[in-house]
A and B are shown apart, each in its own frame.
Chain A
């Protein structure tokens, strides 16, 4: 028997106390691990939202949104310096246009319906339809064929909100290079079906023959009625060299979005409307940040509680065995001998607690994460100033909250053991101080 085995054995000296202590420590470490799981899961979700929602600065010519409003286009020369701004990861340029039957051989896959006719009429007196007989009925009522949206872009695989959004899925063919100048196009699946087009087919736009190199599906009818072509090609064919109607700036982190927005505004001045998605992103992240804070405080609280429990227990044990410690010192044990024995005892108790805690953490980590997230999602409200967009985003994120899944990996188990060691060290340190202070002479005097 040596100091370690004696310490190990002492841990079981009082079975009821050992059981109670290990159970409480297990709960404490289990709670700490569950909170760590929640903290990590929510952190990953925040990063995911920040990278997908909150890091975009949108630029459009002043007074223009999509095909609404009016004003002068921006130019690539104006936008190019933005790529060199700090924290800007990429800039997507686009030039959007509507292809009427006068401009293209394509027929829209979207039927006009009531809304299409109403929108057409609401365009006002200034709207001058092309001289196309099919657009007017014999009774003189204005008929309307929805145009096909053409997007000239440098990143064909990203569909902006004005393009209908959705996820770009290439169904066949390929995608053109971002700096291509060829008369190539990737077209929406509905448009391809409507016009009997496949990869390798051609159609006309601005009197030029355009090759279909790919067909995509965005999951919505509006986006699937589009033609996506290289920016330079559209600029040339439409007679708008160097011009763009929209730019999207990607920023490396949501924390830098306001500074980048300010820099872009300073560069473009009154020629452009510059907006960003930070408000929506902040509103989306706010409930998650709350959960993250709660889990962090609970994590720290659980570790502190565990440390205090073991600390007080060890102090109690040392006080209880004061005489025994004095005797051990009297018969030749050094302070180090006695401290090692008690530290071993504390570590044994804590490791047993850690084993239970790890089991609880593994079993309870994900359910507790979901419970926290569900409660937060049900009770959380977006910031008052966030507006309609924020509420919309928040609603989307609320749906996403329930998809947060806590993963218990090896790192969690290692953190559990680390927490146990920290708790044992903290628990033993002050007890060791008391041990060092016990004088064997006091034992003699107490005889």
Chain B
């Protein structure tokens, strides 16, 4: 269960202070696929950063499986991100000089999993997202956008995270590929019992998720 209570993030902009996230409270049960929609600058990505422990909130609390993460120090936050969170980015953000397989193995290396186990798990995940055979040994530059996003999804699942945070996961893909990626995320949320929160502009995609949150000027409006 993901629980967010009165979450606020204030940025200083010159002499002014901007509330990017303003007293957001929400609950998402395990295994649900949630979407966050909102206009550009509404605070979607900031909320995702706060949920992913990439940033510390000004106020409020975030609990994952009853573990309060807002008070953790940097090293514990790295460990938390490594074990509990998976990220999927709009522009994939794969390491360009590593193969697809090595990219997926990377989070498991940070979790100090043995090399043979890492490799087996990475191969399994890549097969699961539909990237098989020799393509697993290709570097990102030799994969299509959809294939790269599949690798990114496999990477996000590597350490059996409780929560996958996807920031515009279909934003750089054509409609058909975007739909395939969305379906993949949806099915994984069920098969892996992982909570997925996706930020999107695409209302047709948002409409298919289990729950949708709408942000406006940093506030949750629905």
> Which chain A residues have a beta carbon within 8 Å of chain B's beta carbons?
1-3, 6, 9-10, 13, 323-324, 327-335, 337, 439-441, 443-445, 447
- Are A1 and B105 in contact, with the CB atoms below 8 A? yes
- Are A330 and B159 in contact, with the CB atoms below 8 A? no
Would you call B55 an interface residue if the criterion is a C-beta within 8 Å of the partner chain's C-beta atoms? yes
Pick the contact of B110 from A324, A334, A443, A444 — CB < 8 Å? A334
CA A333 to CA B93, docked complex, whole Å: 15
Which of B91, B93, B106 lies at the interface centre, i.e. has the most chain A CB atoms within 10 A of its CB? B93
- Are B81 and A330 in contact, with the CB atoms below 8 A? yes
CA A1 to CA B82, docked complex, whole Å: 17
Name the A residues within 8 Å of B54 (CB-CB): 330, 439-441, 444
- Are B45 and A447 in contact, with the CB atoms below 8 A? yes
CA A316 to CA B207, docked complex, whole Å: 44
Would you call B33 an interface residue if the criterion is a C-beta within 8 Å of the partner chain's C-beta atoms? no
Pick the contact of B82 from A3, A324, A331, A444 — CB < 8 Å? A331
CA A323 to CA B54, docked complex, whole Å: 14
Name the B residues within 8 Å of A324 (CB-CB): 93, 95-96
- Are A447 and B97 in contact, with the CB atoms below 8 A? no
Q: How far is the CB of A252 from chain B (nearest CB, A)?
A: 58
Main secondary structure of the interface of A (DSSP, over half): helix
- Beyond A6-B98, A331-B82, 9 extra complex contacts between A and B, CB < 8 Å: A327-B95, A328-B106, A330-B52, A330-B54, A333-B78, A333-B82, A333-B110, A444-B52, A447-B45
- 16 chain-A/chain-B pairs, Cβ below 8 angstroms: A324-B96, A328-B95, A330-B54, A331-B87, A331-B155, A332-B78, A332-B110, A440-B49, A441-B49, A441-B54, A443-B89, A444-B48, A445-B46, A445-B49, A447-B89, A447-B168
0 or 1 for each of B75-103: is its CB under 8 Å from A? (1 = yes): 10011011100110111010111100010
CA A328 to CA B82, docked complex, whole Å: 10
Name the A residues within 8 Å of B167 (CB-CB): 444, 447
Interface residues of B in 40-66 (CB under 8 A from A): 45-46, 48-49, 52, 54-55
Name the B residues within 8 Å of A331 (CB-CB): 81-82, 86-87, 106-107, 110, 155-156
Would you call B111 an interface residue if the criterion is a C-beta within 8 Å of the partner chain's C-beta atoms? yes
Known A-B contacts A10-B97, A332-B107; A447 and B49 likewise in contact (beta carbons under 8 Å): no
Name the B residues within 8 Å of A440 (CB-CB): 49, 54
- Are B93 and A327 in contact, with the CB atoms below 8 A? yes
- Are A337 and B74 in contact, with the CB atoms below 8 A? no
Name the B residues within 8 Å of A10 (CB-CB): 97
> Which chain B residues have a beta carbon within 8 Å of chain A's beta carbons?
45-46, 48-49, 52, 54-55, 74-75, 78-79, 81-83, 86-87, 89-91, 93, 95-98, 102, 105-107, 109-111, 115, 155-156, 159, 167-168
Name the B residues within 8 Å of A334 (CB-CB): 75, 78, 110
- Are B87 and A335 in contact, with the CB atoms below 8 A? no
- Are A329 and B93 in contact, with the CB atoms below 8 A? no
CA A440 to CA B82, docked complex, whole Å: 13
Name the B residues within 8 Å of A444 (CB-CB): 45, 48-49, 52, 54, 89, 167
Name the B residues within 8 Å of A2 (CB-CB): 109
Pick the contact of A337 from B45, B83, B110 — CB < 8 Å? B110
CA A327 to CA B98, docked complex, whole Å: 14
Q: How far is the CB of A327 from chain B (nearest CB, A)?
A: 4
The 3 closest A-B CB pairs, nearest first, are: A332-B82, A332-B110, A441-B54
CA A3 to CA B45, docked complex, whole Å: 29
Name the A residues within 8 Å of B168 (CB-CB): 447
Pick the contact of B93 from A13, A323, A332, A441 — CB < 8 Å? A323
CA A431 to CA B48, docked complex, whole Å: 28
Name the A residues within 8 Å of B52 (CB-CB): 330, 444
Pick the contact of B55 from A3, A335, A439 — CB < 8 Å? A439
Q: How far is the CB of B136 from chain A (nearest CB, A)?
A: 14
Name the A residues within 8 Å of B87 (CB-CB): 327, 330-331
- Are A443 and B45 in contact, with the CB atoms below 8 A? no
Q: How far is the CB of A157 from chain B (nearest CB, A)?
A: 72
Q: How far is the CB of B1 from chain A (nearest CB, A)?
A: 22
Pick the contact of B97 from A3, A9, A337, A445 — CB < 8 Å? A9
CA A6 to CA B95, docked complex, whole Å: 11
Name the B residues within 8 Å of A333 (CB-CB): 78, 82, 110
CA A335 to CA B93, docked complex, whole Å: 18
List the B residue with the shortest CB-CB distance to A327.
Answer: B93
CA A443 to CA B155, docked complex, whole Å: 17
Q: How far is the CB of B156 from chain A (nearest CB, A)?
A: 8
- Are A327 and B82 in contact, with the CB atoms below 8 A? no
CA A441 to CA B85, docked complex, whole Å: 14
Name the A residues within 8 Å of B102 (CB-CB): 1
Which of A3, A337, A447 lies at the interface centre, i.e. has the most chain B CB atoms within 10 A of its CB? A447
CA A324 to CA B140, docked complex, whole Å: 13
Name the A residues within 8 Å of B82 (CB-CB): 331-333
Q: How far is the CB of A410 from chain B (nearest CB, A)?
A: 37
- Are A1 and B95 in contact, with the CB atoms below 8 A? no
Q: How far is the CB of B14 from chain A (nearest CB, A)?
A: 17
Name the B residues within 8 Å of A439 (CB-CB): 54-55
Name the B residues within 8 Å of A332 (CB-CB): 78-79, 81-83, 107, 110-111, 159
CA A333 to CA B74, docked complex, whole Å: 11
CA A3 to CA B109, docked complex, whole Å: 9
Pick the contact of A441 from B55, B79, B96, B110 — CB < 8 Å? B55
Name the A residues within 8 Å of B105 (CB-CB): 1
CA A213 to CA B123, docked complex, whole Å: 94
CA A9 to CA B102, docked complex, whole Å: 13
Q: How far is the CB of A342 from chain B (nearest CB, A)?
A: 13
Name the B residues within 8 Å of A335 (CB-CB): 74, 78
- Are B55 and A447 in contact, with the CB atoms below 8 A? no
CA A440 to CA B89, docked complex, whole Å: 12
Name the B residues within 8 Å of A323 (CB-CB): 93
List the A residue with the shortest CB-CB distance to B55.
Answer: A441
CA A335 to CA B83, docked complex, whole Å: 16
